[in-house]
A = this chain, B = another copy of it.
Amino acid sequence: MASKATSIDIAYRAGVSQSTVSRALRNSPLVNLETRQRIQAIAKELNYKVDKNASNLRTQNSHTLALLLCEDPTNDDSLINPFFLSMLGSITRATAQQGYDLLVSFQQLSSDWHADYEDSNKADGIILLGYGDYMDYEQKLEKLLAQNTHFVIWGAEHNNKSVLSIGCDNHQGGLIATEHLISLGRRAFAFLGDASSHSPEFRDRYLGHVKALRCAGLPVVQERQISAISTESAGYHAALALIDKGLNFDAIFAASDLIAVGAIRALKEKGYLVPEQVAVVGYDDIPVASFANPPLTTIKQNTQLAGEILVESLLKLIRGQSVSPQLIPTTLVVRSSCGIDHTPIA
């Protein structure tokens, strides 16, 4: 096996200096057109590629973005939340479209993630993605900030204005989901999902939900809010806990589709008819949503657009351009899990 061609090999064949080769390959107008083309032809012939390590070392930037998936460690290890998988796909595409490479990593496996990437010069910036416990990594964000690391974070808007967050409008999502249920005649609502400041995205969904109730003059019943992380099993258990309380309810707004799907399973096991007795709305529009039984009405987050905006914003940040947090609108996807017009039970 011949070892890889370097710019020196090309210089030798072309009878020019290595500097000229370097310039020609970057298509510098400084180099005579004919020489440039000759050099490029030789490079192609030798299957030459610029050594990124060398050029990055020299220029001190990597043309690489890092994606850190910070998932709730209580999740089953083998399952990544399908919503994030979808985001991962769109971020991968958007990154490639911008001519950057994408380094992917999971948080749990690297305790020192805040420093691992940019500091080791492998990435110019970081995208943080995850429904983690925000309290947990608040300090890590501080550290990133202190180090002047370029990063964007997916999710709710952040208290600290220096943190650039991009996310879907969770408040609006919670609002329209609930308004839809109200318009169908539902009156007694339960909310399944953590609504504390540990899960700012879920909390915003909850706040939107509460706002819709208030606007409609409906009561907000604390006992019908059951905490749950975003898994099918948490949704299942949250719904069981709700049922156990013996309270009346005719609608469930679940903070995520996985929770909704688990809740539907629990409801059916306990003999409830969905949507006749209990309407259910989820959040995310993961692929499973349309295959649930009944198919799940949900709030769709545009992951395609989200990935693009995330990447674009990070790139702007890296280039020193000004960027501001963005809220991406969500849309209601109506399927049959909320049924049609309903006579209120309470």
Residues of chain B contacted by A102 (CB below 8 angstroms): 103-105
Interface size class of A (residues with CB under 8 A): 35 or more
Asked if A30 is an interface residue, CB under 8 A from chain B, the answer is no
Q: How far is the CA of A104 from the CA of B65 in the complex (A)?
A: 11
B121 touches A52 (CB 8 A): yes
* Least CB separation from A286: chain B residue: B287
Q: How often does this chain occur in the complex, in copies?
A: 2
**One of A77-85, A206-214, A245-253, A315-323 at the interface:** A77-85
Q: How far is the CA of A41 from the CA of B90 in the complex (A)?
A: 41
Flag A89-116 by CB within 8 Å of B: 1 or 0 each.
1101100110001111110011000011
Residues in A lying within 8 Å of B, measured CB to CB: 1, 4, 47, 49-54, 56-57, 62, 64, 69, 77-80, 82, 85-86, 88-90, 92-93, 96-97, 101-106, 109-110, 115-116, 119-122, 147-148, 261, 287-288, 291-293, 303-304
What are 23 residue pairs bridging A and B, where the CB atoms are less than 8 Å apart in the complex? A47-B119, A47-B147, A49-B120, A50-B120, A52-B53, A52-B120, A52-B121, A53-B53, A53-B54, A53-B62, A77-B93, A78-B304, A85-B85, A85-B88, A88-B88, A92-B105, A96-B105, A96-B110, A101-B103, A102-B103, A291-B291, A291-B293, A293-B293
